[in-house]
């Protein structure tokens, strides 16, 4: 496997981990949240550098339903990342505190929350759109992961689909349990954190929500590709 492909996998995994930590900003602390956010943005830039061929071909070729879906999602992810960075500057107390900026705190907090939660959903969805590609890269890097065990290839596929459905169903429950729609549509301007709750429950819920949108993205891409074949 080429070093670039391995680096892509490492970057994607690192971004996923940092994304989960960013959603727990009150639980990890403000200073850590700001530095993690900066690291996330730098990895986002590296991700685009590694996938620059896709950007160069943006205005070339025919746009199929699958390509339209991928491009629209990528554009929305870019907007959410820019919104997170721009809004982070006026509300920063650590990373950007050296900048002589005053005012805009209320707007900055609102934009930051909106960008962060939409970014979480969109990045999860984006991962789902490329799920088959990611699995193929992992299979190529570690072929034993897909061949080991007592089950046949068909049985493993069925088991993985069943696990995916269970995670997605719990993700629906967690999505509303964590009142995510309130943050996505600004029905609430403040994020609630239960500091007495074990953090593992928080991360499991957010992993399930991520799994839900990976599931949605994956099967929407399958439908778009099927439409192309049809």
Task: Report the C-alpha gap between 12 and 133 in whole angstroms.
Answer: 12
Instruction: Tell me how far apart the alpha carbons of residues 58 and 45 are, in angstroms, rounded to a whole number.
Output: 17
**Beta carbons of 110 and 189 less than 8 angstroms apart:** yes
Question: What average pLDDT does range 44-67 have in this prediction?
Answer: 90
Q: How confident is the model at residue 26 (pLDDT cuts 50, 70, 90)?
A: confident
CA angle 151, 156, 162 (to 5 degrees): 130
Query: String of b and e for 57-72 (b: at least 16 CB within 10 Å)?
Result: eeeeeeeeebeebbee
Under 8 Å between Cβ of 41 and 95: no
| Distance of alpha carbon 197 from alpha carbon 209, whole angstroms | 18
* pLDDT of 147: 58
Predicted confidence (pLDDT) per residue in 138-152, tens digit: 677 666 655 555 666
Question: pLDDT tens across 89-120, in order?
Answer: 999 989 998 888 877 889 999 999 999 999 99
Instruction: Assess whether pLDDT exceeds 60 at residue 57.
Output: yes
Predicted pLDDT of residue 145? 55
- For residue 183, count other CB atoms closer than 10 A to its CB: 20
């Amino acid at each position: 496997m080429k070093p670039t492909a391995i680096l892509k996998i490492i970057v994607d995994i690192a971004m996923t981990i940092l994304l989960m930590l960013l959603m727990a900003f009150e639980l990890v602390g403000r200073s850590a949240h700001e530095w993690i956010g900066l690291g996330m943005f730098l990895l986002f830039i590296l991700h685009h550098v590694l996938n620059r061929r896709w950007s160069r071909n943006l205005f070339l070729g025919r746009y199929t339903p699958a390509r339209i879906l991928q491009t629209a999602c990528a554009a929305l992810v870019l907007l959410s990342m820019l919104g997170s960075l721009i809004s982070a500057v006026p509300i920063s107390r650590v990373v950007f505190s050296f900048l002589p900026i005053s005012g805009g705190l209320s707007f900055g907090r609102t934009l930051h929350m909106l960008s962060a939660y939409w970014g979480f959903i969109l990045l999860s969805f984006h991962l789902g759109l490329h799920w088959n590609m990611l699995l193929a890269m992992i299979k190529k890097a570690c072929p034993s992961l897909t061949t080991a065990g007592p089950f046949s290839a068909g049985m493993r596929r069925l088991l993985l689909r069943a696990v995916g459905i269970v995670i997605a169903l719990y993700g629906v429950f967690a999505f509303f349990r964590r009142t995510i729609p309130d943050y996505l549509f600004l029905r609430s301007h403040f994020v609630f954190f239960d500091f007495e709750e074990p953090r593992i429950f928080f991360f499991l819920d957010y992993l399930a929500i991520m799994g839900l949108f990976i599931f949605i993205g994956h099967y929407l891409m399958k439908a778009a590709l099927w439409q192309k074949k049809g």
